[in-house]
């Protein structure tokens, strides 16, 4: 009897040792444009918050080292091989990722995009940080605010974007151009691309100031670009002459707000964005929600339009009166 009991216990112990400790966890891959970018690291904080709240979720935070579609395709190919349950991707190219994401969906993986979208055939739904129209209009309003801070009635603005293929950047620029006729005091003189690389964005900002001597505002709807442009304005001794604005992180821009290189800027909370994307991916895996409404935990419910797009929340404006309060958060 003792021998049989010992054999049974040994078999159980053997199975326990070779079985994964969290075999039933929902494995969600949060694929970002590139590693090492503060915005996405903050989004990962939110994703981990969602995982802790849900209790049976493992978040795999990953991405390429540079902002290329090819790099993301390699990452996603590896994730398919790992048989993750869901992929939530901020795309470097809305079309180039479609074939590999179709393959992921054929393997039963739930695919969503967030921040920067994938074409509809490559995902179930897309989570915009905010309404694209509101983001575009907000960026133009911030440029107008900069003119007011300079005490001038009209002036020139230029756009420093991320990559030419970045889905969200292109949509926001299109919305900015739609809003411009309502801001007759602003003249758009150039649009350049820093590829979300700090050194290239810096060089593009310097070139803008050299190519357009009367430039008043650089609008950078990218966290990498706005930081690089603010540093360029400071290094070129153009503070008070050329203002920088757009979308950025309080922790990275507080010093430039206080130096005067930036009058104000906007951003949604990337922690909330990573949290919401993870919650949506989890609920899709679990079959919660409907084709038009998907729960986002503390962020409410994602309301999908006919193309499968949803907006998380409105952008928030930061300036010298509040930037320090948020700089310690993200």
- The predicted pLDDT at position 23 comes to 57
Q: What does the buried/exposed string (b/e) look like for 94-123 if buried means 16 or more CB atoms within 10 Å of the residue's CB?
A: bebbbebbeebeeeebbbbbbbbbbbbebb
**pLDDT single digits (tens) 48-107:** 999 999 999 999 999 999 999 999 999 999 999 999 999 999 999 999 999 999 999 999
Q: Are strands 316-318 and 265-267 parallel, antiparallel or unpaired?
A: antiparallel
As a whole number, mean pLDDT of residues 174-183 equals 98
Q: Is the pLDDT at 2 greater than 80, yes or no?
A: no
| Domains contained in the chain, CATH given | 10-130+269-313 (3.40.50.2300), 132-267 (3.40.50.2300)
On whether the CB atoms of residues 170 and 41 are closer than 8 A, the answer is: no
Reported as a single tens digit per residue, the pLDDT across 21-39 is: 455 899 999 999 999 999 9
Which pLDDT value is given to residue 24?
81
Per the structure block, which two tokens stand in for 150?
Answer: 């300079």
Mean pLDDT of 225-232: 98
What residues contact residue 235 under an 8 Å CB cut-off, 6+ apart?
none
pLDDT in tens, 204-217: 999 999 999 999 99
Q: Residue range 166-183: average pLDDT?
A: 97
Count of beta carbons in the 10 Å neighbourhood of residue 218: 34
- In terms of Cα–Cα distance, which of 201, 162, 168, 183 is closest to 67? 162
Instruction: Note the pLDDT of residue 284.
Output: 98
Taking residues 268-292, what's their average pLDDT? 97
**pLDDT at residue 288 in the model:** 97
Percent of the chain with pLDDT over 70: 93
Q: What is the value of pTM for the model shown?
A: 0.85
Q: What is the pLDDT of residues 123-170, one digit of tens each?
A: 999 999 999 999 999 999 999 999 999 999 999 999 999 999 999 999
pLDDT band at 313 (very low <50, low <70, confident <90, very high): confident
3-state class (DSSP) for residue 129: coil
Average pLDDT, the chain: 93
Confidence of residue 314 (pLDDT cuts 50, 70, 90): confident
How far apart are alpha carbons 37 and 225 in whole angstroms?
11
Contacts of 99 (CB under 8 A, 6+ apart): 122
- DSSP code, position 185: T
Residue 41 has pLDDT above 60, yes or no: yes
Confidence (pLDDT) at 22: 52
pLDDT score recorded for residue 8: 39
């Amino acid at each position: 009897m003792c021998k049989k009991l010992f054999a049974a216990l040994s078999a159980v112990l053997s199975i326990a040792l070779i079985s994964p400790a969290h075999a039933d966890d929902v494995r969600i891959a949060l694929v970002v444009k590139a590693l090492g970018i503060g915005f996405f690291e903050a989004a990962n904080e939110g994703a981990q918050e969602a995982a802790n709240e849900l209790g049976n979720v493992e978040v795999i935070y990953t991405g390429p080292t540079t902002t290329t579609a090819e790099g993301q395709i390699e990452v996603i190919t590896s994730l398919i091989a790992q048989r993750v349950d869901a992929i939530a991707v901020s795309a470097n190219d809305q079309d180039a990722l479609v074939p590999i994401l179709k393959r992921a969906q054929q393997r039963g993986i739930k695919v969503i995009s967030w921040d920067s979208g994938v074409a509809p055939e490559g995902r179930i739904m897309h989570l915009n940080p905010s309404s694209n129209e509101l983001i575009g209009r907000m960026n133009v309003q911030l440029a107008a605010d900069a003119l007011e801070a300079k005490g001038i009635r009209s002036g020139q603005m230029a756009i420093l974007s991320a990559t030419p293929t970045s889905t969200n950047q292109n949509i926001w620029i299109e919305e900015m151009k739609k809003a411009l006729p309502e801001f007759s005091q602003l003249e758009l003189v150039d649009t350049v691309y820093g590829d979300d690389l700090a050194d290239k964005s810096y060089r593009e900002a310097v070139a803008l100031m050299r190519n357009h001597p009367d430039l008043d505002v650089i609008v950078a709807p990218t966290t990498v670009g706005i930081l690089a442009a603010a540093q360029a304005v400071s290094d070129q001794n153009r503070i008070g002459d050329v203002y920088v604005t757009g979308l950025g992180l309080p922790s990275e821009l507080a010093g430039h707000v206080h130096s005067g290189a930036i009058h104000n800027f906007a951003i949604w909370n990337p922690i909330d964005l990573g949290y919401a994307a993870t919650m949506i991916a989890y609920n899709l895996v679990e079959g919660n929600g409907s084709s038009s409404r998907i729960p986002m935990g503390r962020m409410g419910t994602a309301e999908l339009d006919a193309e499968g797009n949803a907006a998380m929340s409105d952008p928030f404006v930061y300036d010298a009166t509040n930037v320090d309060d948020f700089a310690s958060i993200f």
